Amino acid sequence: MPALTLANLAFFAAQVALLIGVLALTLAALRPGPAVRLAACRVTLVAILLLPLQVWLRETPPAAYAQGALASAAALAVDGIEARSGRALPWGAIVGGVLGAGIALRMLWLGLGLTRLRRLGSLSVAGENAAVTIEGEVSELQAELGTRARVAFVDRVHHPVTFGIAPAVVLLPASLLAASPDRRRAIVCHELWHVRRRDWLWVLGEELALTALWFHPAVWWLVGELQLAREQVVDRLTVAATGARREYMDALFSAADLPSAPPLLSGFLRRRHLARRLVSLAEEVVMSRVRLVAGGALMVAVLLGGGAVALAAWPLAPMPRERAQPQIEQIRGLRPDTAGGVRVLHRLDVEVPGIVAGADFGEILLDVDAAVESDGGVTSARVVTATLHGDRGSSAPVEPRVVEAAATAAVDAIRGWRFEAPPETPASVLVRVRFDGESHRSVVVAVTAHTGYKVPTVLRAGGAIKPPTRLVNVAPEYPQEAQDAKIQGVVILEATIAEDGSVKEIEVLRSIPELDGAAADAVKQWRFEPTLMNGVAVPIKITTTVNFTLAP
């Protein structure tokens, strides 16, 4: 399954928008009949619900690591990419909470609607508050259409209501008893066609799909078009069965003054659809068989093409597969002088982000420095070197964000590893990760302990090591030259905080040349609360951002 991340949510939303946009343009160009539009909308809705399964289509066996000939390849070094816990807002949790709350509220809304329908259905079955049913007309229509629905005229409803399958229930307004026989027959026939077609199952499916994707406006449009096409199909079937076109259209006209039908009803009335339904009935456009087949084939081809573009442009990343090692894995040393034994007790797979899976490159080699505490947990992880080898079959340059995405994925996974308790702490482990450009898989090539299994004396904030509290904050001065040139963005810095809380060293990790100096000058004036390790103040490295934004 896809990982529940903001990136995947954005990619999925883009895929859905593209598919529905292609459908809308195709429908506007071809102007097919209601039956074809109904089928196209249903196929599109089902395809959207199946989009998350695409991650399994990209599963390939992991590639073996090929040794040798790396030094001769053109390489790009990227230093200092780090993922760490900070004070930023947890946007993933916030967005997930909003989406979950919306789904829960809509499920509650649907549950209340079903409860109301069940109550109305029990009244119709028991006959309470119901008017006398015109048995002859209803029985004749049911015999013609082959349905066995429970039909009753009820005071409580203002428009026809159809729901359920076994048995289906049709509730009609008591006011229809005074209508002309032709009008009453046309409306009853309309509802019985819904029963025969089992449209109630589709209504439930559409509402559930809309509940899951309530945040996407294009899905609301798609479900609305689907509902309209279904009613137009039933309109034509009703007119063909009764021959009462004028009476049926008069009934639609008279329904315009009534409130719209409640949810969960494959009923007679949707006010926003009335005008288009009347136009469809008046036009009586009949497509030839050749045009119907050609239009359907073209629509299928366009939708398949749009789907292929959506999957290629915004591939979803799979959910990380957490796995416990069946056997405790002994770390392999890259250097013969590695001192101290350590074992990996638990690890997470390094997943391939969507942007990496869609890029053309030979391979990306990452060396990740992980700081390990006495309990074996990783308190921080940092990519110390990243080497990119281009794809021999492609001359297009690889975007730096591809390497950044791979580095972030590696760091995120390694932060979840657990090692056997090291002999001395704090300790450092170097993990080499390889992203293969041909198979688009990641492989942990080797893991090694640093000599003496000790981390450098400067700690790094992250994990169990909390970032120091900032006591003095100095805002950066926005260079006038940069403002005049409309240069803005985020400068990412790595700062070493001395034992007394002052900023001792600064390194630019993400540069905007016109703004680097102003950002560094501001950070140098910051002051922090000293970081204590076993009661002793120690230096610590942090990663911070300085944002330069032009006033609107």
Residue 159 backbone phi and psi in degrees, to 5: -150, 160
Distance from C-alpha of 59 to C-alpha of 74, rounded to nearest angstrom: 29
pLDDT-derived band at 525 (thresholds 50, 70, 90) equals: very high
CA distance 164 to 203: 10
> Do the Cβ atoms of 491 and 545 come closer than 8 Å?
yes
Looking at residue 342, its pLDDT comes to 57
Among 69-78, 252-261, 262-271, 540-549, the range with the most confident prediction by mean pLDDT is 540-549
Report pLDDT digits (tens) over 248-293.
Answer: 787 777 665 555 555 555 455 566 677 777 777 777 655 566 666 7
Q: How confident is the model at residue 399 (pLDDT cuts 50, 70, 90)?
A: confident
Is the link from the previous residue into 422 a cis peptide, with omega within 30 of 0? no
Residue 344 lies in a domain: no
Q: Is 9 a domain residue?
A: no
In a domain, 174, yes or no: yes
Pick the residue with more confidence: 351 or 532?
Answer: 351
Does residue 311 sit within a domain? no
What pLDDT does 1 receive? 55
At 452 the pLDDT is: 42
What does the DSSP 8-state code read for residue 393? T
Checking if the pLDDT of 383 tops 60, the result is yes
Residue type, 57: L
More confident residue, 483 or 337: 483
| Per-residue pLDDT at 463 exceeds 80 | no
Q: 3-state class of 195 per DSSP?
A: helix
Asked if the model's pLDDT at residue 521 lies above 80, the reply is: yes
Q: Supply the pLDDT for residue 375.
A: 78
Q: How many CA atoms lie within 13 A of 492 on its CB side?
A: 9
Residue 491 has pLDDT above 80, yes or no: yes
| Domain annotation covers residue 134 | yes
- Kindly indicate the confidence band of residue 104, based on its pLDDT and cuts at 50, 70 and 90: very high
In this predicted structure, the answer to whether residue 187 has a pLDDT above a threshold of 50 is yes
Residue range(s) defining the domain that contains residue 485: 468-552
CATH code assigned at 546: 3.30.2420.10
Q: Which two tokens stand for residue 239?
A: 């007119």
pLDDT at 57: 58
Question: Is the separation of the CB atoms in 434 and 407 below 8 Å?
Answer: no
**Position 491 in a domain:** yes
Q: Which of 262, 286, 310 is the C-terminal boundary of a domain?
A: 286
Contact between 323 and 433 under an 8 Å Cβ cutoff? The reply is no
Mean pLDDT value across residues 426-439: 81
Whether 399 maps to a domain, the answer reads no
**E-strand spans in 79-180?**
81-83, 150-154, 161-163, 169-173
pLDDT in tens, 146-159: 888 888 887 777 77
Band of pLDDT at residue 358, cut at 50, 70 and 90: confident
- Between helices 245-254 and 274-283, what is the axis angle to 10°? 160
The rounded distance, in Å, linking the Cα atoms of 125 and 156 is 14
**Length of the chain, please?**
552
Q: Is there a domain that residue 178 lies in?
A: yes
Q: Which segment, 390-399, 403-412, 424-433, 447-456, is predicted with the most confidence on average?
A: 403-412
Could you tell me where the DSSP H helices lie in 67-90? Answer: none
Instruction: Classify 533 as helix, strand or coil.
Output: strand
Last residue of one domain, picked from the residues 230, 260, 286? 286
Structure tokens, 306: 């749009």
Q: How confident is the model at residue 220 (pLDDT cuts 50, 70, 90)?
A: very high
pLDDT-based confidence at residue 522 (cuts at 50, 70, 90): very high
410 vs 158, more confident: 410
Mean pLDDT of the chain: 75
In order of 66, 67, 359, 437, 442, the CA distances from 393 in angstroms are 18, 20, 13, 11, 20
Distance CA 55, CA 10 (A): 15
Token pair recorded at residue 511: 């540069």
Longest Cα separation, the chain: 99
Residues 100-111 have a mean pLDDT of 90
CA dist., res. 173 & res. 155, Å (int): 6
Work out the percent of the chain whose per-residue pLDDT is above 90: 9
For the chain, what is the domain count?
A: 2
Domain closes at, from 286, 310, 325: 286
